[in-house]
């Protein structure tokens, strides 16, 4: 008599539980993908087609006119120069903010992980606590502060604010990472006569590429997506892309051009989306590292 395995065979693709699981996952995926789809098809239709048709139907006549208009000539209430102004403003805010905030936070994290001094943990605790304080609580004093420094309404102010509010999460990220590196490496560096900066630049930083990538992703998406700080601190002529987008779409003047609005929305979302799709696991790691380990 042949010996046959008994019971249901595990891992078969078509058992009801698995169908249910895949069903739920696919339905959820459709819900998540729908807005992206609607954005894209709307941005490629002409206005007559939008008025007559249905938001889910693909464009009958594909046009990139709305994209050009959104980028070049869309009106933000006062000016009609399109989103490109906001794009370059965002780039100007983004690059120094990302670099400075990461430089400051990585040094913080390193000092906290390896060079604890009396009170360093207290400052760290306040810093983490501070990350939960609503920005609104600190806005007005910061306006006064930046005004006193003579930088309110300029790029410097936004950069400073991004550096300040990026500090808690980034410091936590770097501190945890540096603390997870073998302490003996740090000790070996000290025996070898390297100082605070020597150990940081020659031993720690070269070992920490992954966490720098995570930090860059976190900061690029965070700063690009910022609205509040841009609108308050940057000054009208430096408004970042998100602010201009909102002004274009929600300006009450003229006829609403939904296709242009959607094109503008995609353009504004493009940078973080690109980062997101390119970085894949690093993005997940970034948000999880900040949250779960904390």
Choose one: 64-72, 77-85, 132-140, 149-157; the region binding other proteins (CB under 8 A).
132-140
| 219 near other proteins, rule: CB under 8 A | no
Structure tokens at 48: 């007559």
| 97 near other proteins, rule: CB under 8 A | no
Using the minimum distance from each CB to other proteins, give the nearer residue, 2 or 184.
184
Using the minimum distance from each CB to other proteins, give the nearer residue, 2 or 228.
228
Q: Which of residues 164-193 bind other proteins (CB under 8 A)?
A: 164, 167, 171, 182, 184-185, 187-193
**Tokens 């209430």 belong to residue:** 77
Angle at 252 between CA 250 and CA 253, to 5 degrees: 125
Buried b (16+ CB within 10 A) or exposed e, 203-236: bbeeebeebeebbbbbbbbbbbbbeebbbbbbbe
Q: Which of residues 11-30 bind other proteins (CB under 8 A)?
A: 18, 21-22, 24-25, 28-29
Using the minimum distance from each CB to other proteins, give the nearer residue, 28 or 95.
28
Measured distance CA(118)–CA(53) in Å, rounded: 67
| 277 near other proteins, rule: CB under 8 A | yes
Q: In the set 12, 206, 253, 255, which binds other proteins (CB under 8 A)?
A: 206
Q: Kindly state the helix (H) or strand (E) to which residue 271 belongs, with its residue range.
A: helix 258-279
| 91 near other proteins, rule: CB under 8 A | no
| 115 near other proteins, rule: CB under 8 A | yes
Q: What does DSSP assign to residue 237?
A: G
């Amino acid at each position: 008599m042949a010996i046959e395995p008994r019971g249901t065979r595990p891992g078969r693709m078509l058992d009801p539980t698995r169908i249910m699981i895949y069903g739920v996952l696919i339905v959820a995926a459709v819900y998540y993908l729908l807005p992206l789809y609607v954005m894209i098809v709307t941005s490629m239709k002409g206005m007559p087609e939008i008025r007559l048709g249905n938001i889910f139907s693909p464009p009958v006549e594909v046009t990139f006119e709305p994209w050009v208009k959104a980028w070049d000539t869309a009106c933000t209430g006062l000016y009609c120069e399109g989103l490109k102004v906001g794009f370059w403003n965002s780039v100007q805010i983004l690059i120094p903010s990302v670099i400075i905030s990461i430089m400051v936070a990585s040094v913080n994290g390193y000092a906290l992980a390896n060079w604890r001094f009396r009170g360093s943990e207290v400052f760290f605790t306040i810093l983490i606590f501070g990350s939960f304080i609503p920005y609104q609580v600190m806005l007005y004093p910061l306006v006064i502060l930046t005004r006193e420094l003579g930088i309110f309404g300029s790029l410097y102010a936004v950069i400073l604010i991004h550096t300040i509010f990026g500090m808690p999460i980034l410091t936590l990220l770097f501190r945890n990472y540096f603390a997870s590196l073998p302490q003996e490496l740090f000790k070996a560096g000290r025996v070898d006569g390297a100082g605070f900066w020597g150990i940081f630049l020659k031993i720690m930083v070269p070992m920490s590429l992954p966490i720098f990538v995570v930090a860059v992703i976190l900061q690029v998406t965070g700063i690009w997506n910022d609205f509040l700080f841009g609108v308050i601190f940057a000054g009208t002529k430096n408004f970042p892309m998100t602010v201009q987008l909102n002004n274009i779409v929600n300006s009450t003047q003229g006829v609403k051009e939904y296709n242009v609005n959607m094109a503008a929305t995609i353009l504004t979302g493009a940078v973080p989306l690109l980062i997101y799709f390119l970085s894949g696991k690093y993005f997940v790691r970034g948000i999880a590292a900040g949250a779960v380990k904390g």
